[in-house]
Amino acid sequence: MKKLSRNDLYPLEHYSEIRDEFRHKIMAHKNSRRLMLGDVVMLLFEDRLLTQYQIQEMLRIEKIFDAAAIEEELATYNPLIPDGSNWKATMMIQYGDADERRRQLRNLKGIEDRVWMQVENLARVYAIADEDLERSNEEKTSAVHFLRFELDANMIAAVKSGGSIRAGINHAHYQAETDPLPERLRLALLGDIK
């Protein structure tokens, strides 16, 4: 998938005029790219449009007009865009109660390395987590992780020929496994590979 450049971004003045309409489009798009793994772990599969939205929002919030600063934002967020042989996702561990969240994040240390995707009956692909920076420490994991699932040629061919996709987590304190993904999500993931 093509990375974003400054030419792909709306100037801030124009973005402020279309922001409500663009956000509405993004929310619908996000719904087709979300996957719950059990009760508290959600994956949001990133793509070019979602990345553009994140950059546009950062530029708006920070009031960034400077070309060098915009390039910095592009360099930060462009790695979230799939490269054609992988799926990239933001993983969020969602506990409403702060005390429960702190407790569970200690129990779930290392969960980010135990998330998997599987095409048909081929081997499971475990996530490569947090390549940009370490988000866990000796005591606990983070509530947010960035994951990459690297696919081989057989997996890509199987997805392209209509193969089913499943996902799960295999952690000592958290087990989850999906049925084959809904068609809307399978098609979205198909669009992320070459």
Q: Kindly report the CATH number assigned to the domain that includes residue 103.
A: 2.60.40
Name the one residue in this structure whose structure tokens are 């692909």. 125
What pLDDT shows up at residue 133? Answer: 66
The number of distinct structural domains making up the chain is 2
Sign of CA dihedral 85, 152, 148, 183: positive
In the chain, which residues have pLDDT < 70? Answer: 133-134
DSSP 2-14: PPP-GGGSPPHHH
What pLDDT shows up at residue 137? Answer: 74
What pLDDT shows up at residue 32? Answer: 93
Cα–Cα separations (whole angstroms), residue 4 to 37, 70, 73: 30, 11, 10
Q: Could you list the residue range(s) of the whole structural domain that residue 125 is in?
A: 37-46+84-194
Note the pLDDT tens digit of each residue in 123-154.
Answer: 999 999 988 766 777 789 999 999 999 999 99
Instruction: Note whether 23 and 56 are same-domain residues.
Output: yes
Residue 65's φ and ψ, nearest 5 degrees, are -115, -25
What pLDDT shows up at residue 132? Answer: 72
